[in-house]
Structure 1
Amino acid sequence: MTLAAPDPTRSVPLPLREQADVRDRWLTQRLLDVLPGLMDRAGIDLWLVIGREYNEDPVLATLLPATWLSARRRTILVLHRSDDGVTAAAASRYPVGQFLPAWSPDDAPELPSEDAQWAVVRRIVAQAEPRSIGIDVSEAFALADGLSHTEHRLLVDALGPYADRLVSAEDLVVGWLETRLPEEIRALHALNRLVHAVIAEAYSPAALTPGTTTALDLAWWIRQRFHDLGVEPWFQPTVSLQRAGVPLVEERGILLPAVPYDAVIEPGDLVHCDVGLSSLGLRTDTQRNGYVLRPGEADAPAGLREALHVGNRMQDLTTAALAVGRTGNEVLATARSAAAAEGIDADVYSHPVGFHGHGAGPAIGLWDEQDGVPGAGDYPVHADTVYALELAVRRPVPEWGGQCVRMGLEQGIALTGDGVEYLDGRQTELILIPGG
């Protein structure tokens, strides 16, 4: 039976069977349309991705069929760039989706299966005669450093003289992980829409009763809500509070909220959440802020509203700096310089997001590295990529006696040939929570 291709932008989450169909279709399209150009850009003729069951290279999961939840025994994927595109073959005990089967244990029954499997890799390499053989080793990017010590040793032994052609596939891996298809970006709009809806529900009487609900209760409610909707978080949701009379405290060089994580949420509190979900093999990462109204209040204090608006301005300055060809460190320096010129006290710590929540690609600051990130921050920005635009500003609030608040914002954005687009929009007003 042939299934009609489902539309992941119609509604999320899709049933698991439909998700698998979408993911496999995306993989085929990525192998055909994305990978050849990335291999050319990285100068790699043949790419080897190798992993063993439960010790997988993190890239392997992005190349396997959706029904494969891990590698099987030892799985070796061989991707060869030729004039006709990329030939994708698998030296694996079991068939690997759309990869051409290059080996079966029955091919050479006189040899131990491990020896026979590596002999096939040597034969493919000898036939392809690549100038460069990319392997997943990297100092700068953990996600590009998935080839284990043992597999590296066995590969070198198997390749013999061809081992001299081994090079780091770092740029190719990062490109593969960070580049998004247009349909993937449309799906991320839908996934971010779901996140925003869950946060809005969490900041309502459906989940939050001031004077009773704790910040920890609300964090667990969000996680349970995701689960009930058929998606899972890729990290434990967090909820933090700021309130008048409880100033920020310095921790590891940064000012952070001092209200305990399990404190009861009260009227007058600024409520902040940080959540991310997983679906269709993709991730989201979002922060949003709400204010619990005091009796008689119809809006949040003007100082809190202004802090959010300054945070939006800092988003504008950062997205204006996010230009193709600039490194992450250059984007960071440009945004922070623009902020200083406008008197904005801010930190920027944005990051790629896609197959992984903290994805491979240019690091645009870390919360504790505001002068640049060695290695990952030196990687350039490319088009057709997605980021979590994450930053924080600090502002005094007159209504709180001049007490400083930290307004943390995080929002998915896509960078395409048309510029930056917010995934399902950004927060420009505080979510108002009834105070009971």
Structure 2
Amino acid sequence: MRPTLPAGACPTRKGVGWPSPLSPPMRTALLAVLLVPAALAQPTTSAWPEIRAERIARLLPEAMDRAEVDAWLILCRENDNDPMARHVGCENAGGEAAFLFFRTDDGLSPIAVSPAGEATALGELGVHDRVIEIERGAGVWPSVVALFDEHAPEAVAINRGSTPIADGLSSTQYERMQAGLGDWMDRTVSAERLISEWLAVKTPAEVEIMREAAALTARWQEEAYAAAVPGVTTDRDIADFLEARMAEAGVGDGWAPDQNPAVNSGRDRGHSHPTDRVIQPGDFIQTDFGIRVGDMWVTDIQRFAYVLAPGETEPPAEALARWEAAKRGSRAAFEAMRPGARGVDVDLAQRAVMREDGSLPVMWSTGHPVGYWAHDSGPSLGGGQEGRTPSGRQLDVLRPGMTFAFDGFHAWPLEGDDTKTISVEEMVVITDDGAEWLVPPQEDLILIPSR
């Protein structure tokens, strides 16, 4: 059965008023995105075009400087487009098109090379200073080489890398690039560093959108728990409740629909689909849930509940101790998140608390960037696991404007080789002097009484 929310049964928490950096038109667009389902089918009504223009003009030059590249080349095409397509204005590519960004003394020179037809629409978008129209079937490479000859870049970023977000080139596209660029190919480097530096930082308007979406994500989980009935409600019922809320509001999934939300009242199962397990007294219930708003920004929040036995008004001391231990790990990680800290430093701060509190080690990293994907590009809050040597994104430093989802861990053994882990997950933005919660963190277990 699908649980229904009893009148007045939703737990409440005192809200926090946040200053909004959105202009009035953008604020109207945001409210439409969050409240009107039809808005999601009409991207032109969203705040994204204005935000994208700001991101390209203000943040991309800084990212190129940090990545030490002075040109970026992206290839776009229909049906199987590059993950960066919507970020650079080529989401509607038909025939193969090239999008280039050249670093200049006063900013950027964005240029598109596109087959006739789509070139007209690209010019109307206004993302690029120049749109070079080529005959259909002629190929982009003569025009791209001419632009390289004109701008003479020393390092050209191309979308090949170890992370899916930065690995947009197909093997055939790469082969054509090698043939088309000739000697310029020797100056190409992976765009992975550039993409990480650029995407990880969000504008104030984006942070505000994510705040609004995070508030919905957390509130709906509380409502789902308030509607649960021990001995009747299943994990799948709780997921159905949340999916119904998403459908009513017209928002999308934060990640793969089959695993969103991930509801688990039993042993650890990692990222997985909910089952038909009936919740019982003594269960810790984990809900890992994310939504997508504006067809662009996602959330990733976990809320935990405890199922009380008949006659209980609070959990047993052992259960409360485990919850408080997970909170201590979360707060240690939070305090470690500040500009200049490395991702691994955050992870190590929490693991020190876990050892003190007698937690089993966990395989998962403390946290990850979140924004355009649930696992976005940017520093990884991991690498502190025993026996591992931190590397790559775990050594990257945090900067103001970066947004993260991170867990407070405490794990203990069950019968056999099974474990149970509290991993209450919050979202934050890095500020000039630390970190700031996007929504108030979960302080207390949500209690589900037996009825």
TM-score (norm 2): 0.81
- In the alignment, is residue 43 of structure 1 matched against residue 64 of structure 2? no
Q: 1:315 to 1:11 in 2, by over 3 A?
A: farther
Matched AA of 1:174:
S
Structure 1 equivalent of residue 192 of structure 2: 170
Distance 1:291 1:342 in 2: 20
Structure 2 equivalent of residue 272 of structure 1: 286
Runs of 5+ consecutive residues of structure 1 not aligned to the other structure = 107-112, 243-247, 398-402
1:356-375 → structure 2 map (5 Å cutoff): 356-365=373-382, 371-372=388-389, 374-375=391-392
| Secondary structure at the counterpart of residue 421 of structure 2 | strand
Contact 2:409 2:423 in 1 (8 A): yes
Contact 1:314 1:346 in 2 (8 A): no
- In the alignment, is residue 381 of structure 1 matched against residue 422 of structure 2? no
| Secondary structure at the counterpart of residue 183 of structure 1 | helix
Measured after TM superposition, the shift of residue 146 of structure 1 is 1.4
Q: What is the percent sequence identity of the aligned residues?
A: 28
Q: 1:351 to 1:201 in 2, by over 3 A?
A: same
Matched AA of 1:43:
E
- In the alignment, is residue 157 of structure 1 matched against residue 186 of structure 2? no
Contact 1:8 1:187 in 2 (8 A): no
Matched AA of 1:272:
Q
Q: 1:22 to 1:159 in 2, by over 3 A?
A: same
| Secondary structure at the counterpart of residue 28 of structure 1 | helix
Structure 2 equivalent of residue 142 of structure 1: 164
Q: 1:182 aligns with which of 195, 204, 207?
A: 204
Distance 1:186 1:27 in 2: 15
Deviates more, 1:156-165 or 1:3-12: 3-12
The ranges of structure 1 where at least 4 consecutive aligned residues each deviate by more than 6 angstroms after the TM superposition are 366-370
Structure 2 equivalent of residue 231 of structure 1: 251
Runs of 5+ consecutive residues of structure 2 not aligned to the other structure = 1-23
Structure 2 equivalent of residue 336 of structure 1: 351
Distance 1:24 1:369 in 2: 44
For 1:84-123, what per-residue CA distance to the aligned partner results, in whole angstroms no more than 9, with x for missing partners?
21122211231332224422245xxxxxx34342221112
For 1:124-153, what per-residue CA distance to the aligned partner results, in whole angstroms no more than 9, with x for missing partners?
1111111111111113x2211212222222
1:12-411 → structure 2 map (5 Å cutoff): 13-15=34-36, 16=39, 17=42, 20-64=45-89, 68=91, 71-93=93-115, 94=118, 95-96=121-122, 97-98=125-126, 99-106=128-135, 113-139=136-162, 141-205=163-227, 208-233=228-253, 234-235=255-256, 236-242=260-266, 261-280=275-294, 281-341=296-356, 343-345=358-360, 347=362, 348-365=365-382, 371-372=388-389, 374-394=391-411, 405-411=420-426
Q: 1:372 to 1:315 in 2, by over 3 A?
A: farther
Distance 1:319 1:391 in 2: 9
| Secondary structure at the counterpart of residue 220 of structure 2 | helix
Q: 1:180 to 1:158 in 2, by over 3 A?
A: same
Contact 1:349 1:366 in 2 (8 A): no
Q: 1:264 to 1:340 in 2, by over 3 A?
A: closer
Contact 1:323 1:331 in 2 (8 A): no
Distance 1:149 1:393 in 2: 43
Contact 1:92 1:101 in 2 (8 A): no
Structure 1 equivalent of residue 9 of structure 2: none
Matched AA of 1:300:
P
Report 1 or 2 for greater relative contact order, CA contacts < 8 Å, sequence distance ≥ 6.
Answer: 2
**How many residue pairs are counted as aligned between the two chains?**
406
Measured after TM superposition, the shift of residue 18 of structure 1 is 7.2
| Secondary structure at the counterpart of residue 88 of structure 1 | strand
For 1:256-276, what per-residue CA distance to the aligned partner results, in whole angstroms no more than 9, with x for missing partners?
89xx93211234432211111
Contact 1:350 1:391 in 2 (8 A): no
Deviates more, 1:129-138 or 1:263-272: 263-272
Distance 2:344 2:184 in 1: 37
Measured after TM superposition, the shift of residue 388 of structure 1 is 0.8
Matched AA of 1:240:
N
Measured after TM superposition, the shift of residue 4 of structure 1 is 3.3
Q: 1:171 to 1:219 in 2, by over 3 A?
A: same
Q: 1:18 to 1:361 in 2, by over 3 A?
A: closer
Deviates more, 1:311-320 or 1:344-353: 344-353
Contact 1:12 1:191 in 2 (8 A): no
Contact 2:30 2:47 in 1 (8 A): no
Contact 1:352 1:362 in 2 (8 A): yes
Q: 1:349 to 1:334 in 2, by over 3 A?
A: closer
| Secondary structure at the counterpart of residue 160 of structure 2 | coil
For 1:362-396, what per-residue CA distance to the aligned partner results, in whole angstroms no more than 9, with x for missing partners?
22237988735543323333321111112420259
> CA RMSD of the aligned region, Å?
3.0
Q: 1:24 to 1:241 in 2, by over 3 A?
A: same
For 1:327-378, what per-residue CA distance to the aligned partner results, in whole angstroms no more than 9, with x for missing partners?
3234323432354356554544311111111111222237988735543323
Distance 2:145 2:54 in 1: 28
| Secondary structure at the counterpart of residue 138 of structure 2 | helix
Measured after TM superposition, the shift of residue 320 of structure 1 is 2.4
Structure 2 equivalent of residue 4 of structure 1: 25
